[in-house]
Amino acid sequence: MAARDDDADFGSKQDALPKKPCRSGRTGMRPFGTLGPRVEVEKYREQLEEKAAAVRAALRGAVLEAVLEAMEVFPSPPTGHRHRAGPFAVRRPSSALRASQGLYLEMSMWDPVARGHSLVRASEVPIYSAPIAAAMEALRRLPIELDLELLDEDEPDEDHDWEKAGADQDSAPNAWGQVIGRGLRTIQFHSTLSGELMVCLTYSDERLRTLKRGEKLPGEDSSSWETSAQGVAWTSAAREVRQALSTAVAAVGFSQPEIDVVGRWRRRRLCVDRDYVVERIALADGRELEYRQPEGQFSNPNVPCEVHCLDWLCREAQLLQQEAACSLGSSSSSSVRLLELHCGGGNNTVALAPYFEEVYAVEINRSLADACEHNLAANHIRNVRLLRAPSAATDATAAAACHAVLVDPPRSGLDDETRTLVAGFDHLLYISCNPAALAEDLRFLGPDFEVLKLALFDMFPYTTHAECAVRVRRRVRRWSVIPVGRLLRQLASPWWMPLTVIATAAVAWWLRQRRCRGQFFIS
């Protein structure tokens, strides 16, 4: 990724950036924009080859050389691949741009190297999906009046008359722009392949900073936030924004797009109709999956590349299932059960569930767990048990009942407790957004495990970030037919413990009987 001429000092600071994520949302990377690096679409293939070489180098020593050379590389669309954008800080354009081009706001990200706000325009950063790019350009030209005093000083404004602001919207054609702009700080976007779009506007209100949980503002004494004067005024103004965005998205080829606008304050939230989008993904096995993705919760930003990842997981899950059934001595591969850690909103869970007899899915985040439960029901998945818990505290009964494990940890990799848990399985699927952390976890597993397959998914083009996936299997020892690790886990589980006690007592009784008859002597 080439930087501009005024970024010559970037190289000396590049190594320190990954340790301190910047506000660009691209961990350890400078944001694209007027101050940052340029998106070089013409060099995408070259940069992808460099990224693949870097991944091989990071995993060398933890993965066999033959597997590294056979690594599958799944490219991203060079442009229009990013379905999540922001948060962008809002800035007011100069008077010259406002007068000549009719611009009312600009969107920016903080550049930690240039120490300034780098303006981000969809026409200059062609990574965003068509709905997001259209919405970004439309918002720049909507008559949204930013509150300059609040932007500069964060001053409280306890005397603002929201009832008058709501009434003014009926008489003044652009009065809604003042309501939307008052206290506006950041904007985020979330789109889908089908053209759905959700825009989240984040606000600062000094009155809410010192407000304790459960306390109400003066205008909320007899009503909720939604029905207060400010809530009613904002919702009415947000509908105007939604109508303008619908027109802009329809103009780029999406007929009757589903647009939602969400407003966020400290411990307050308003939305026009919905606070989520619904993604629909067609897999190579013929299924079409439906996912609800809530506002503010994680979902993969590169949906076209995520489809490749799901197809790869389904293919490898079939092979894993067959191998696990064979090691269990089962004639039916459908008897294999899967434990999934860090399941999130059920993205992988929904796709892989049909390939297993049962799936135990673990997630600690309540919103993501609720989304996962909805997605399972929407896709008619009934063989998944959803457990709300930290991955490291996974119930021993659930772990002992499963034959394989799927992990999708954060960038830091697996924690020590989860590593120990994973090491007790014979079959492993591991999705990683950090090859260095993946290498460390594979080294922890040691020589008893081997990586069978490796894949690279370019979720973040034009950056150094790489998403990898591996399928790992415990090596089969010639002198061992029984999977000892799994046998010990099962014998220690609550399900097998009564049988273990009965069997031990029976053997002890038999030994006593033989000893009493003098057939052999035990010293």
Question: What is the mean predicted confidence (pLDDT) over 223-243?
Answer: 86
What is the predicted pLDDT for the residue at 94? 80
The arithmetic mean of pLDDT across residues 453-462, rounded, is 95
Query: Could you tell me how far CA 252 lies from the centroid of its own chain?
Result: 27
Looking at residue 172, what is its pLDDT?
53
* Integer Cα distance of 394 and 340 in angstroms: 10
Q: Is 71 a residue whose pLDDT tops 80?
A: yes
| Confidence class for position 23, pLDDT limits 50, 70, 90 | very low
Are 485 and 424 in contact, with CB atoms under 8 Å apart?
yes
Task: Categorize the per-residue pLDDT at 60 as very low, low, confident or very high, splitting at 50, 70 and 90.
Answer: very high
Assign a CATH topology to domain 82-283.
Answer: OB fold (Dihydrolipoamide Acetyltransferase, E2P) (2.40.50)
Q: Are strands 84-91 and 106-111 parallel, antiparallel or unpaired?
A: antiparallel
Q: Which band of pLDDT confidence, cut at 50, 70 and 90, is reported for residue 10?
A: very low
Report the percentage of the chain scoring pLDDT > 70: 79
State how far the Cα of 3 lies from the Cα of 9, in Å rounded to an integer: 10
Q: What is the mean pLDDT of the chain?
A: 82
Summarize the confidence of residues 255-261 as an average pLDDT: 91
Residue 44, classed as helix, strand or coil, is helix
Model confidence at 387, pLDDT cuts 50, 70, 90, reads: confident
pLDDT for the residue 6: 33
Same fold: 45-76+299-487 with 82-283: no
Encode pLDDT of 324-357 as tens digits: 888 776 655 568 899 998 888 899 999 999 999 9
Contact, 401 vs 435, CB < 8 A?
no
For 422-434, what is each residue's pLDDT tens digit?
Answer: 999 999 999 999 9
The model carries a pTM of 0.80
Hunting for tokens 């976890």 — which residue is that? Answer: 441
Q: Is 395 a residue whose pLDDT tops 70?
A: no
**pLDDT range class, residue 213, cuts 50, 70, 90:** confident
Q: What is the mean pLDDT of residues 252-270?
A: 90
pLDDT in tens, 462-519: 998 999 999 999 987 654 445 555 556 666 666 566 777 787 778 777 777 665 554 4
Strand intervals (E) in 354-462: 358-362, 384-387, 404-407, 427-432, 449-457
What is d(CA 305, CA 73) in angstroms, rounded to the nearest whole number?
11
Per-residue pLDDT band for 224 (boundaries 50, 70, 90) equals confident
Q: Is the pLDDT of residue 310 over 80?
A: yes
**pLDDT tops 80 at residue 73:** yes
Lowest mean pLDDT of 259-263, 314-318, 398-402, name the range. Answer: 398-402
Least confident of 100-109, 414-423, 480-489: 480-489
- In 142-272, which residue ranges form alpha helices assigned H by DSSP? 148-153, 162-171, 175-181, 206-209, 229-250
The number of residues making up the chain comes to: 523
What is the pLDDT, as a whole number, of residue 205?
82
- Helix axes 229-250 and 162-171, enclosed angle (nearest 10): 40
Residue ranges of the annotated binding site for S-adenosyl-L-methionine are 363, 408
More confident position, 488 or 253: 253
* 433 is annotated as an active-site residue: yes
Contact between 293 and 345 (Cβ < 8 Å)? yes
For residue 148, what pLDDT is reported? 60
What is the structure's pLDDT at 501?
A: 75
Give 97-109 as a DSSP string: HHHHH----EEEE
Between residues 182 and 168, the one the model is more confident about: 182
If pLDDT is split at 50, 70 and 90, which confidence band does 25 have?
very low
3-class state of residue 190 by DSSP: strand
Look at residue 487 in the predicted model and tell me its pLDDT: 59
Which pLDDT does position 20 carry in this prediction?
32
CATH number of 45-76+299-487: 3.40.50.150
What percentage of the chain has pLDDT greater than the value 90? 51
Helices 130-141/229-250 angle, 10° precision: 120
Indicate the annotated binding residues.
363, 408
Mean pLDDT value of segment 205-210: 77
**Domain residue spans of the chain:** 45-76+299-487, 82-283, 496-523
Residue of 402, 433, 468, 516 marked active site: 433
Query: Do 160 and 205 meet the contact criterion of CB atoms below 8 Å apart?
Result: no
pLDDT of residue 297: 84
> How far apart (Å, rounded) are the C-alpha atoms in residues 16 and 13?
6
pLDDT for position 220: 63
Distance in angstroms (rounded) separating the CA atoms of residues 502 and 159 = 77
The answer to which of 188-197, 210-219, 284-293, 306-315 has the lowest mean pLDDT is 210-219
